[in-house]
Chains A and B, each alone.
Chain A
Amino acid sequence: MSNHLITEGYIFILAMFVGFLLISKIPPILHTPLMSATNAIHGVVLIGALSLLTWTHGTVDLTIALVAVFFSTLNVVGGFVVTDRILGMFHVRSDGEQ
């Protein structure tokens, strides 16, 4: 069990490094879409909320889990849709224009 945890710790630290390397290459012009994309990514807690639903017993538990599902779905879906909208606005100048 603790081996499992150590592996997870490694994964977390390595992912942080990868994150730092990748994200520091992103130019400031894209910082708003970057932020709204990462904003959508943390809606991944939806997976947590869904797996919670398998072992909830009783109305209170179920309600809490469903609220968590609601929050994180809103987060994921809204986040991706708005990021796509933003990225659709970035154009290069059209041909013939100086």
Chain B
Amino acid sequence: MALSYAIPTVFFIVGAMRLKSPKTARTGMWWIAMGMIVGVGGTVLLHPDIPWGLTIAVMAIGSGLGVFIAKRVKMTAMPQMVAVFNGMGGGGAALVALDSLGHFRSLGAFAALIATITLVIGSISFSGSSIAFLKLQEWLHGPRLSRTVQATMTGLGLLLLLSLVSLRIANQPVPGLAIWIMIAAVFEGVMLVIPIGGADMPVVISMLNALTGLAAAATGFLISNNVLIVAGALVGASGTILTQQMSRAMNRSLRHILFSSLAQSGTGTPGHGDLDGTMIEASHEDVAMLLTYSRNIIVVPGFGLAASRAQQEVRQLMEKLAGHQVGVKFAIHPVAGRMPGHMNVLLAEANIPYDRLFEMDAINQEFKDADVALVIGANDVTNPAAKTEPNSPLFGMPVLNVDQAKKVIVLKRGKNPGFSGVDNPLYTRSHTSMLFGDAKDSLGKLIQAIE
């Protein structure tokens, strides 16, 4: 029987090894899923006294709903869905802990401590993920709390949470204590995520993922089950790595994102002088001509592309240009989407082969040899001021070397600066031409002009 817990562990690790390459990743995921089935099956065999009818009914409803959501969700909405599932995992862990704490006498002091930790982490992950979902879905816009109010409420909440937890550790018989701890932790989760804005979402999603992993591992300690410990540790490690990589790609520390997100909004003064130069507007025909006479083009997609649902048009353009012997590559910045790796999935969904997608470090040297850099709905990640202007708020953020291409074409919705409010001096350079308008529209006209 213990084997049914050893096998899943091996399956999880083999599966994670196979996630290294797009060719083996799909089977890798099935290794992990098999591990899960063996683990759950083993639990079921070990505990024959479960109320079967109810449990199977609940699991059937859960699976049905899970499959339904997973089949229907749009790839642009993946971050929301990850947030929902994160919340479910965290909530599940919190409820397991809550139920264990309910059995007050049967738990030793140490087990009670672990249960309390599980309850706190799980609840924070549940409410934080719920808020992240609401914000990503744009059903909730951050309430305009002043920074002091925000900090005070978070601080008081933390104080309350800590005192409730210490009451629990001191083994004080307060009625409903576990419920109060849960409520305080839920409140902290809300306060933590509510001030964080859209561009920081890749970091927040990764962090909540890591947190839920730790909640699962804590549940493993609570019920003395190694499968949960190993699985939770893997998720925790993965979430931590992604959190680090995402904050590095935005050149912002995690602390900065979590605690000073309100301070940075609306600062866009540095770099303003550069935009006194005029932007050169090009016609679709000119750009079409330029593209067909180029030998190699690097496309730089940003979230603006996904927002106007222009992925199919990008693929059509790529195919049309292939007919003119033009090589097209895609340069993907780590934070081009709303979650880690998001842009790759959005382009893969539009049938753009993944061997044309290049990460920033792999392609940054190639811009200087590129005939044209075609920027579609990306802004801050192309801003050369991040390399050269110490006064720029973006200074130090790794950016794509778009400015080194022989010619730069920027497809942009309007003349406003981007999400961060920082001007982009790329736009006024003499070798840059602008195509204003909706990305889908502009690309459609480009394709027509090429024909």
Interface residues of A (CB under 8 A from B): 1-2, 4-5, 8, 11-13, 15-16, 18-20, 22-56, 60-62, 64-94, 97-98
Contact = CB atoms under 8 A, between A and B. Distances in A.
B98 A64 contact: yes
B348 A50 contact: no
Contacts of B26: 84, 87-88
Given A38-B238, A45-B89, A93-B353, A19 B341 contact: no
B58 A19 contact: no
A50 B228 CA distance: 13
B264 to A, nearest CB: 25
A78 B85 contact: yes
A27, A83, A90, most chain B CB atoms within 10 A = A90
Chain A interface, >50% SS class: helix
A15 B344 contact: no
B357 A78 contact: no
Contact of A38 (B75, B239, B351): B239
Contact of B71 (A2, A15, A42, A85): A85
B55, B86, B227, B345, most chain A CB atoms within 10 A = B345
Given A47-B39, A77-B63, A97-B322, A32 B353 contact: no
Contacts of B50: 50, 53-54
Given A15-B230, A77-B67, A68 B99 contact: yes
Interface in B29-54: 29-30, 32-33, 36, 39-40, 43-44, 46-47, 49-51, 54
Contacts of B75: 86, 89
Nearest to A20: B237
Interface string B429-442: 00000000000000
B195 interface: no
Contacts of B96: 45, 48-49, 52, 65, 68
A33 B82 CA distance: 10
A17 to B, nearest CB: 8
B124 to A, nearest CB: 14
B223 interface: yes
Contacts of B66: 73-79, 81
A32, A46, A60, most chain B CB atoms within 10 A = A32
A27 B339 contact: no
B217 A12 contact: yes
Contacts of B239: 35, 38
Contacts of B241: 20, 23-24
Contacts of A1: 108
Given A69-B58, A83-B29, A28 B213 contact: no
Nearest to B343: A32
Contacts of A85: 70-71
Given A28-B340, A42-B212, A62-B51, A78 B349 contact: no
B92 A49 contact: yes
B85 A66 contact: no
B22, B99, B325, B345, most chain A CB atoms within 10 A = B99
B95 A64 contact: yes
A45 to B, nearest CB: 4
Contact of A31 (B93, B341, B355): B341
Contacts of A43: 36, 85, 88-89, 92
Q: Which 8 A-B pairs have the closest CB atoms?
A: A19-B237, A31-B341, A78-B66, A73-B62, A15-B233, A77-B66, A31-B340, A81-B70
Contacts of B85: 36, 39-40, 43, 74-75, 78-79
B186 interface: no
B225 A47 contact: yes
Contact of B223 (A22, A51, A77): A51
B367 interface: no
Nearest to B44: A50
A9 to B, nearest CB: 8
Contacts of A75: 66, 85, 88-89, 92
